[in-house]
Amino acid sequence: MKKIGVKVDCNKLVVPKLWKCPPDAILALYAPTDMHNLPYLNRGRLSSANCPIPDCTAEFLASATDYDNPPSEFTIAQSKEDYERPRRYLGLNVFRKGIVPEFLLRGLVRCGDSEGEGGLRLPVKGSVTKEAIDDISPFHICTETHYPPTCLVMGTDDEVFDISHMRKFGKKLKRNGVKCKMVVAPGEGHAFDIWAIMGGKVHLQILRPGVDWIAQVVGLPPRTKRSFTSANCISGLVRHWGKLFCH
């Protein structure tokens, strides 16, 4: 966002059930919706065969949380070698152990003595309550709050979350009277938009329809021929949207 000149106030990021002023709309790219159903899919570039990872020992976790020397300027992970970094291995471990909700709610757990000086470990599966998971699960939150119009975008070959997350959530939103659009990206995996070229197939056939729908919902003027042809155009739209929430 900073590279295209957009200022982000981290104090105003919104979280479902905690937001004081709901966003006008949500553009959700390949996001999980039912936090009770996040099995490790073991397929594609993130499969155990294509991307073996070490055990999460206390020493390994310490290296992944070296905040005095945080990693930066890493390239987008595209090969097995690109994932051979502690923090990326940590993320893969969380998915493979099926502890995404536990990790989001508890983080890494300090074990050892009562002073908290012991080593770090991953949280145990089942160490958080159903109610706590409900509170971070859009699939459940949408029935307890006034949920904003939502555009769901997901690839059919997503390696992290099954496309059923999008389809089931989309149907539930519509049943509850929430405006919803689902955009399917045939043959695309997780984070497919990272490699999208401005003016290319993914941009024109998948991303732009979702953005156009959001723009219409929040009352922006119709897109002109020059819209979305440069970073400056996107920057201008982001500034104009104000309360648009993407996750």
Least confident of 128-137, 148-157, 212-221, 233-242: 233-242
Maximum Cα–Cα distance across the chain: 63
The CATH T-level fold of domain 2-34+137-246 is Rossmann fold (3.40.50)
Summary mean pLDDT of the chain? 80
pLDDT confidence of residue 33: 93
Model confidence pLDDT, tens digit, residues 6-65: 776 665 555 555 566 778 899 999 989 999 999 889 888 888 888 888 877 888 888 888
* Confidence at residue 80, expressed as pLDDT on a 0 to 100 scale: 67
What pLDDT, on a 0 to 100 scale, did the predictor assign at position 47? 86
In one-letter notation, the amino acid at residue 124 is: V
Work out the percent of the chain whose per-residue pLDDT is above 90.
41
pLDDT digits (tens, 9 = 90+) for 107-116: 988 876 444 4
Statement: residue 124 has pLDDT above 80: yes
pLDDT tens-digit profile of 154-192? 999 999 899 999 999 999 999 999 999 999 999 999 989
Q: Structural domain boundaries of the chain? A: 2-34+137-246, 44-129
Tally of CA atoms within 13 A in the half-sphere of 3 that contains its CB: 2
Other beta carbons less than 10 A from residue 37's beta carbon: 14
- Cα of 198 vs its chain's centroid, Å: 21
Confidence at 221, pLDDT banded by 50, 70, 90: confident
Treating both helix axes as pointing N-terminal to C-terminal, what angle do 231-241 and 208-217 enclose, rounded to 10 degrees? 30
What HEC string does the chain produce?
CHHHCCCCCHHHCCCCCCCCCCCCEEEEECCCCCCCCCCCCCCHHHCCCCCCCCCCCHHHHHHHCCCCCCCCCCCCCCCCHHHCCHHHHHHHHHHHCCCHHHHHHHCCEECCCCCCCCCEECCCCCCCCHHHHHCCCHHHHCCCCCCCCEEEEEECCCCCCCCHHHHHHHHHHHHCCCCEEEEEECCCCCCHHHHCCCCCHHHHHHHHHHHHHHHHHCCCCCCCCCCCCCHHHHHHHHHHHCCEEEC
Cβ–Cβ contacts within 10 Å for residue 16, how many?
21
pLDDT of residue 18: 59
Of all residues in the chain, what percent carry a pLDDT higher than 70? 74
Average pLDDT rounded to a whole number, residues 81-90: 78
Q: What's residue 30's pLDDT?
A: 92
The reply to whether the predicted model has a pTM over 0.85 is: no
